[in-house]
Amino acid sequence: MITLGELQITNFKRIRSLCITFPRQGTILVEGPNESGKSTLFEAIYFALYGQPIVTETNRKSLDDLITYGENQLRVKLSVHTDKNTLYIDRTVKRSKGSTITLRVMSGSGIEEVINSVRAANSRIVQELGGIDGSALLNSCLVEQKKLSKLEELDAKERRDSLMKILNLEKLSYIEDRLRVPKGEIEQLDALKIRYELANCLSQKEQLLVSLQELEEDYRNGLINMASSQSKSLYSKIASAKNDLGQATELQQLLARKRELEGTISANKPNRSFLEPNTLAALFLSVIILLVALFANISWFIKGLLLIASVAFIAYLVVSNLRRLTSKDATSQASEAQLLALDRKVSEISTSLGLKDLNDLQDLVNHRNMQIAEYEAQIKFLQTNPEMVLGVDLQSRKQKIDQIKQEIQVLDHRINWLRSEIPSGEENLRSPQEYKKEIDRLEEDIRVREIAVHILQESTKRIISNVLPDTERNMNLLLPVLTAGRYHDARISEDYKIEVWDEEAGRYVGKNIFSGGTKDQMSLALRLAFAIASLPQERGTSPGFLFMDEPLSSFDEERTQSLIDLVTIGELAKIFPQICIISHSKSFDPGTFQYFIRMEDGRVTSSNLSRREELSLA
């Protein structure tokens, strides 16, 4: 619990010299006429804690503005007690020279730490206050004059920031910030992914090039084999056609020989008449000569010669004719035998050539010559255009080759783009496996961080979200007291806007329809409810003091007494050990408070607190 100890002020605004000691527990009334320095007491405590004046929208003070007119410097000393340490804060401001500080941190065991750096001291004070900075304190237990509705006017971010500090969640926020993945790490991961993809693309391209080389080699060999196989088939067909032509030529020769033999046989066919006409005429002439020789009147000698000659010539004719007949029969028999053999050979060749009619032989020869020419043309085409006659297997290989070339082209485009994303001079690449290992490590680290940040965010959100229902519950306890029983039920929206149940209207209505005094009472109820909800007593660093500057300015007598009862004997007195009300109202009994300070013209004219009038500026 944080409580205030001794406060000493010199030349701070209207207060020239003041020294009071706050009781560890009790209610204090600071009273006096306007411009007597009551609110200055409030501002001095704020300045001692944070080293800055309270800043409003229309009042952005410099430190010099805090120095009393006609003086050159101010000094404020304040002691603050926490559960563990006591802080002794001593701040000085010299006109036009800025501020100095001496902060003494005294531990419970008596160890003292002295800090003279303004920045370090300010940071240490906020740390000792549990992370509660000036704005968070002003939104909770320091209620400024005419700032009762301040909580309602905060935007969501400002309210969340205040709650983070009041609830001491800044440590969670600090851890969250430390765990949050830095932009540079995300950029590093993106750069690694680009390098990994580039290395992977290059590796894929290398593998595809090897596959392409093998496929193209197989494809070329396949083309050669296919061309060779088809050429062999065509050469075989040409050989078969030429063989047919050879047989056809042989057949033609055989047919010519056959015709020749048939002519020979026809010419040598024997005449079955004994004497041929010429022989018969010669024989007839010889017979006439013989008859003349017999019956003619010639000498016997001549007769005898003619008779012998005639008989010899006739004998010759008979023998010659017999020899002729015998010779022709032998020739005819030999030719017929050859003709028979030729017929068998012609039949065999005709059957081999598939000729049913020998008259079609020339057509067959012409057809075979055409086939040979066609086969030779196909062979020449194969030799010059082997890819035009692909088989199914080679077509599949060709498609695969085209597909790989297309993949390589796509990879080249991607590789060029990836290279353009790598800064010049950093083109050296590692293996894809090394990049993948580093990427996995970074992604795992980022994933763990994101999970941790999410858990912290959700935890913070749940803690902060619990403040709203607690605030609403506390407000419904305080509202009837502050409104003298007029209003009992209120609800608070997520943006901390107040709606109150109006019996006459029979519904919840916004605060803005009520009178100024009632609106102030509702806003004060909200501020106090929020302070109770956001500053739980079990926290060792929660403020144990509540300061309200002129909260009664718009309260009537009945509702003024209700607030006085609330802070002196009611719920607030049980929660906050130190409660200080600054007021110039005369509508309540000052004796209700345990302690009082009466101020006039910047000085304490009377008080039942222990005090000293002078504070040295040395």
SS3 sequence of 118-153:
HHHHHHHHHHHCCCCCHHHHHCCCEECCCCCCHHHH
**pLDDT higher than threshold 70 for residue 585:** yes
Domain range enclosing 579? 1-129+544-618
pLDDT of residue 616: 41
Confirm if 367 and 237 have CB atoms less than 8 A apart: no
Q: Are residues 218 and 344 in the same domain?
A: yes
Query: 547: buried, middle or exposed (CB in 10 Å: 19+, 13-18, 0-12)?
Result: buried
The 10 Å Cβ neighbour count of residue 566 is 20
Instruction: Please calculate the CA angle 144-584-486 and round it to the nearest 5 degrees.
Output: 75
Instruction: Give the end of a domain, one of 389, 414, 440.
Output: 389
Per the structure block, which two tokens stand in for 357? Answer: 């009619």
In a domain, 537, yes or no: no
Please give the span between the terminal C-alpha atoms of the chain, in angstroms, as a whole number. Answer: 32
Q: Report the pLDDT averaged over residues 58-74.
A: 83
User: Which is higher by pLDDT, 373 or 517?
Assistant: 373
Torsion angle of C-alpha atoms 313, 314, 320, 325, degrees rounded to 10: 160
Q: Which structure tokens are listed for 474?
A: 């506390």
Residues 77, 201 within the same domain: no
Inside any domain, residue 520: no
Looking at the domain assignment, is residue 25 inside a domain? yes
Give the pLDDT of residue 138: 81
d(CA 316, CA 312): 6
Confirm if 162 and 136 have CB atoms less than 8 A apart: yes
In this structure, the answer to whether residues 70 and 219 fall within a common structural domain is no
Closest CA to 179 of 478, 581, 450: 450
Whether residues 113 and 199 fall in one domain? no
The residue among 271, 288, 277 whose CA lies nearest residue 317 is: 277
CA distance 279 to 318: 9
pLDDT in tens, 175-198: 778 888 888 888 889 999 999 999
Name the average pLDDT for the chain: 82
- pLDDT beyond 60 at 274: no
The CA distance from 102 to 83, in Å, is 21
Confidence of residue 159 (pLDDT cuts 50, 70, 90): low
Rounded Cα–Cα distance for residues 166 and 530 (Å): 11
Tell me if 30 is assigned to some domain: yes
In a domain, 337, yes or no: yes
DSSP class per residue in 360-386: GHHHHHHHHHHHHHHHHHHHHHHHH-G
Look at residue 67 and tell me if it is in a domain: yes
Give yes or no for residue 273 having a pLDDT over 60: no
- Report d(CA 215, CA 277) in Å as an integer: 93
The angle subtended at Cα 318 by Cα 316 and Cα 322, nearest 5°, is 115
| pLDDT at residue 3 in the model | 92
Measured in whole angstroms, how far is the alpha carbon of residue 80 from the centre of its chain? 54
Is the pTM of the predicted complex or chain greater than 0.85?
Answer: no
267 and 379 in a single domain? The answer is yes
Out of 389, 410, 438, pick the residue that ends a domain: 389
Question: Are 197 and 106 members of one domain?
Answer: no
Please identify, among 362, 389, 416, the residue that sits at the C-terminal boundary of a domain. Answer: 389
Q: Residue 539 — pLDDT band, cuts 50, 70, 90?
A: very low
At residue 276 the predicted structure's pLDDT band, cuts being 50, 70 and 90, is: low
The amino acid at 129: L
CATH code of the domain in which 18 resides = 3.40.50.300
Helix axes 300-353, 277-295, angle to 10 degrees: 170
The pair of three-digit structure tokens given for residue 279, joined into one six-digit string? 């022989």
Q: What share of the chain is helix, strand, coil (3-state, %, to 5)?
A: 60, 15, 25
514 vs 511: CA distance, rounded Å: 6
- 535-545 burial by CB neighbour count: b if 16+ within 10 A, else e? beeeeebbbbb
Is residue 267 predicted with pLDDT exceeding 80?
Answer: no
CA distance linking residue 338 with residue 346, whole number of Å: 12
| Count of beta carbons in the 10 Å neighbourhood of residue 271 | 12
Q: How far is CA 59 from CA 51, 55, 56, 148, 475, in A?
A: 16, 6, 5, 17, 31
More confident residue, 242 or 235: 242
Q: Does 316 lie in the same domain as 237?
A: yes
Residue 449 has pLDDT above 80, yes or no: yes
SS3 state of residue 19: strand
**Does residue 566 have a pLDDT over 60?**
yes
Q: Which whole number is the average pLDDT over 336-353?
A: 82
Q: CA-to-CA distance for 553 and 550, rounded, in angstroms?
A: 6
Residues 370 and 231 in one domain: yes
| % of the chain residues with pLDDT over 90 | 24
22-45 pLDDT, tens per residue?
999 999 999 988 888 888 988 999
Q: Among 454-463, 474-483, 563-572, which stretch is predicted with the lowest mean pLDDT? A: 454-463
Question: Do 115 and 212 fall into the same domain?
Answer: no
Pairing of strands 578-583, 15-21: unpaired
Lowest mean pLDDT among 22-36, 152-166, 255-269: 152-166
pLDDT for 441 equals 92
Residue 228 shares a structural domain with residue 96: no
In one-letter notation, the amino acid at residue 219 is Y
Residue 257 and residue 249: Cα distance in Å, rounded? 12
pLDDT digits (tens, 9 = 90+) for 96-129: 998 999 999 999 888 999 999 999 999 999 888 8
Higher-scoring residue by pLDDT: 3, 143: 3
The three-class DSSP label of residue 4 is strand
Residue 235 and residue 314 in one domain = yes
Closest CA to 432 of 199, 201, 205, 188: 199
Q: Tell me, what's the pLDDT at 108?
A: 84
- For residue 365, is it within any domain? yes
pLDDT at 118: 94
Q: For 367-418, what is each residue's pLDDT tens digit?
A: 889 988 988 888 787 767 665 555 556 678 788 889 999 999 999 999 999 9
How much is the pLDDT for 438?
92
Q: How many domains does the chain have?
A: 2
Mean pLDDT of 85-97: 94
Two tokens, residue 560: 């003024």
Given a cut of 50, is residue 537 above it in pLDDT?
A: no
Q: Within this chain, do residues 385 and 285 fall inside the same structural domain, yes or no?
A: yes
pLDDT at residue 1 above 50? yes
Asked if 284 contacts 313 with a C-beta cutoff of 8 angstroms, the reply is no
Angle made by CA atoms 242, 245, 246, in degrees to the nearest 5: 90
Q: What does the H/E/C string look like for 407-459? A: HHHHHHHHHHHHHHCCCCCCCCCCCHHHHHHHHHHHHHHHHHHHHHHHHHHHH
| Residue 595 pLDDT grade (very low, low, confident, very high; cuts 50, 70, 90) | very high
d(CA 554, CA 583): 11
Going by pLDDT thresholds of 50, 70 and 90, the confidence category of residue 485 is: confident
Would you say residue 306 lies in a domain?
Answer: yes
pLDDT for 80 beyond 90:
yes
